Amino acid sequence: MLLEPLKGCKGLYNYRQDLIKKVMAMPDLQVREYLDYQQRIHHSV
């Protein structure tokens, strides 16, 4: 999902690229905590 190019949505594409760069710069534990947090948010809605 994250790695597929988005057609016709440059702003969202740039946002996703920035997000990927931020995630790649995080330590592993921080990434896991962030992903767990995101999953909890999406599953609680």
Supply the pLDDT for residue 23: 81
Supply the pLDDT for residue 36: 93
Supply the pLDDT for residue 40: 92
Cα pseudo-dihedral 3, 38, 43, 40, rounded to 10: 150
Supply the pLDDT for residue 8: 65
Supply the pLDDT for residue 11: 80
Give domain limits for the chain.
Answer: 8-43
Residue 42 token pair: 């999406």
- CA distance linking residue 8 with residue 18, whole number of Å: 18
Q: 1-45 pLDDT, tens per residue?
A: 455 555 667 788 888 889 889 888 888 888 889 889 989 988 776
Residue 33 token pair: 């905590």
Supply the pLDDT for residue 19: 86
Residue 18 backbone phi and psi in degrees, to 5: -65, -40
